[in-house]
Amino acid sequence: MLLRSRLLKTAPSWKQLSVCSKSKFSFGKQTRYKSTDASEDEVKHFQELAPTWWDTDGSQRILHKMNLARLDFVQRTLRNQVKIKDPEIFVPGFNYREFLPGYVCDNIQREMQDSIETSLDEKLKMSVLDVGCGGGILSESLGRLKWVKSVQGIDLTRECIVVAKEHAKKDPMLEEKVSYECKALEDVTGQFDIITCMEMLEHVDVPSEILRHCWARLNPDKGILFLSTINRDLISWFTTIFMGENVLKVVPKGTHHLSKYINSKEIIAWFDENYGGQFQLLDLKGTMYLPLQGWVEHDCSDVGNYFMAIQRLK
């Protein structure tokens, strides 16, 4: 049934996939693939999309527009975690916009924002793991932020990794900050301050394995996991598959499958069951595409696409 949570599925024992060779190992006479692998159809689909990944007017144009919203969500979430310690900065303890003149409100907002940006730029040097990086759209954007020390992008589609590496060469500032590898998530070592898993949970067979391995790689000292995926409902089918793929054709046909969508409540329930008391939901927003505006956020996180930020607690 479509309404059954896919997070309850266990990892399949055997798969036959055309993915990176390092993502498999032998057991007897059979070849076992990683539990975080994608299906052969999914890998083939993204192999076909790889050549046009950076064409902002091509098959990935909606993803390029969405990247702006994803980046805003990530940066806002991180700024909200910064505490202003400068005694010279006035931080109102009330809704000052209702009582103070507009120019005063603007000055207060500007001073607080400048203090937060200074704290991010000077004190925080974060390591990032971008899971399912594709051609590197989000990885590059994160790599250009001053407070990011390094970005490691991983993907199972070799063609996408080749595209990502070639495109990153065009920007010298990314040379020492952004790296890409074609590997499975469970082959990643080390821990990261930020892990992004954007528009990829709906493309894997066992999303719970992705979440479990992401959590294991997350810095236990308040590391943050950013997720972006799609609720499993008729509205999502109508907007992403019927309209997006078949009518407007702004998304390549075959990109989405309703049965692979995951409700935001299911992810929260999974964390409650497996890591209760060890995480904090920092933010959860619905997002939708408006042709004249691009991707905009809203508070109905149970419908359509959504962004989620989960922080690991000690």
Which pLDDT tens digit goes with each residue over 172-203?
999 989 999 999 999 999 999 999 999 999 98
Amino acid residing at 229:
T
Q: Is 132 annotated as a binding residue?
A: yes
Could you give the CA distance from residue 194 to residue 126 in angstroms, rounded to a whole number?
7
Classify 149 as helix, strand or coil: strand
Superfamily of structural domain 40-80+125-312: Vaccinia Virus protein VP39 (3.40.50.150)
Q: Which of 35-39, 210-214, 221-225, 290-294 has the lowest mean pLDDT?
A: 35-39
Residue 130, CA distances (Å) to 17, 150, 205, 227 in order: 22, 11, 19, 11
Could you give the CA distance from residue 314 to residue 155 in angstroms, rounded to a whole number?
29
Q: Which of 15-19, 73-77, 256-260 has the lowest mean pLDDT?
A: 15-19
Residue 20, CA distances (Å) to 46, 90, 254, 264, 310 in order: 13, 53, 22, 30, 29
Residue range 284-306: mean pLDDT, rounded: 92
- Whether the CA torsion 233, 238, 239, 240 is positive or negative: it is positive
Q: Is 199 annotated as a binding residue?
A: yes
Residue range 245-266: mean pLDDT, rounded: 87
Q: Is 202 annotated as a binding residue?
A: yes
pLDDT computed for residue 33 by the predictor: 55
pLDDT confidence tier of residue 90, bands split at 50, 70 and 90: low
Return the CA Rg of the chain. 20
Name every residue whose Cβ is closer than 8 Å to that of residue 276 and which is 6 or more positions away in sequence.
none
Q: Which part of the chain has CATH 3.40.50.150?
A: 40-80+125-312
Helix axes 40-49, 158-168, angle to 10 degrees: 30
pLDDT digits (tens, 9 = 90+) for 115-157: 777 776 665 689 999 999 999 999 999 999 988 999 999 999 9
